[in-house]
Amino acid sequence: MPGSAELQIHAGGPGRAHAWCVGAFRGQPPAVGELPPALGEAATALARRKGWTGEDGQAAETALADGTVVRLRGLGATEAFELRTLRSWLAPVAAAAARGGAKRLGIAMPDHAALRGEAAEAALVAAGLLGYAFDRFRSRPARPALAGIEVAPPPGQRATYRAALPASRALVASIAFARDLANSPPNEATPAWMAARARELAKKYGMKATVLGPAELRKRGMGGILAVGEGSANGPRMVRLEVGRGPLTVALVGKGVTFDTGGISIKPAAGMEDMKYDKSGACTVLGIARAAAELKLPLRLRIYVPLAENMASGTSYRPGDIVRCYNGKTVDITNTDAEGRMLLADALAWAAEEKPDVMLDYATLTGACVVALGTSAAGLFSPDDTLAEQILAAARTAGERLWRLPLWPEYIEDMKGIHGDLRNSGGRWGGASTAAAFLAQFTGDVRRWAHFDIAGAAYIGSERGSGDKGATGFAIASSLRVLRQLATEGARRGRPARTR
């Protein structure tokens, strides 16, 4: 199974890894304090070889008498190192170890401030995800699989890393789960298929599940979801899950466009195959819910997943249509490729109606956000400064790049309709902020709301980026950290959970 490599902390003895990866910064010896003597001596000997400097990407290796391979890799300047550097360092080493026949990989974490304390969880997650591959549709695996990942913490950090292990394991499994959903192809991953996977998740973790089909959506007046989905033979769905108990209620909302042609406002052909990733927001919230349930967080979580396939056909919604959403607001359709916000409008309005304490939504929403921030970061929008800072701090600790973008009142002026209350596309300028301003019209009285535009970071597409292609599971690690903080906040408040 993808992501199934066993993640464990090195116990200080000989270890079971067939290959070990050790790093060394420029001009410094490798950190081998937590390694068995034979491994530490081998790494130190490699660093003493003529020509070794520790420059970024420099590599050397040797084998012990028992066949264990020790790979030393340069990390460059100490001041340039960060969590993201760790990921880029580990990936080629893991691939080389697997190609060499190793089933278990050992990683000696470098002695660096970026990997100590709270960063232990992110370091372990980066290591654990080395075992992930989406090979379900291949006649043979694309690369050999690692069965186990053994981590030797930085010197003095063994207790910290051990304490971080349960959450790290839950995150690795949940990110792999979300990646699997997002990577699944659109001829399989229809709205009904995604709803079925959500039901399976609910059954496994004792969640309450509700799935609305087209008839129920029509009865409830969820016109946004219906409009986007009516051009496809695969009808739309709306999934609601509920799990957990606690003083605080948190709503998670995720955009689930299982494939996006753009509809009548059709996209260019180049890169359209990547539009299976337009369901990444839905996959993200299901991954977050899985991790929170695994860790039994004392929160009441409500998960809302609107699902539709945006196709071009004789029954598609059109530019010029006016659509009424769940909260009664009407929307002039000016661009059928601005479909994600139509799904989120209904889902956010339903979530807000149930009065959560905090509401977070996730969507591959705008190309404008990718233009602004590139493919290494996501945009964050919130009217609540305290919540925004809390999320940004969590992202820094998790090693995920988030950047807060403005949600000024002027942006809603661009989204006002001609004959309806709103329009679904505000034109060329400030597209990420105008889209967020549109969503804000459906959040009701929930002030503690944040919107994650993950369009650039949710996947590595076929025509952009480097390294492994596919879904990343971005924002799950940051969000779980935020949920744990909210659970602590709820415990301090100690008030009873809301009921309906």
Could you tell me the two tokens for 396? Answer: 């820094």
For residue 3, pLDDT over 60 is answered with no
Catalytic residue (choose from 179, 300, 302, 341) = 341
The catalytic position among 84, 103, 267, 396 is 267
Asked whether 31 and 39 are in contact (CB, 8 A), the reply is no
List % helix, strand, coil for the chain (3-state, nearest 5). 40, 20, 40
Nearest Cα residue to 296 out of 372, 245, 346: 245
Q: Structure tokens of 225?
A: 């979801």
Over residues 399-446, the pLDDT tens digits come to 999 999 999 999 999 999 999 999 999 988 999 999 999 999 999 999
Amino acid 251: pLDDT: 98
β-pair partners for 302: 242, 251
To the query of whether residue 140 is one of the catalytic residues in this protein, the response is no
- 162 is known as an active-site residue: no
Q: How confident is the model at residue 89 (pLDDT cuts 50, 70, 90)?
A: confident
Q: Domains in the chain and their CATH numbers? A: 6-164 (3.40.220.10), 184-493 (3.40.630.10)
Tens digits of residue pLDDT in 312-338: 999 999 999 999 999 999 999 999 999
Q: d(Cα 458, Cα 277) in Å, to the nearest integer?
A: 8
Instruction: Provide the residue type at 442 as one letter.
Output: F
pLDDT band at 469 (very low <50, low <70, confident <90, very high): confident
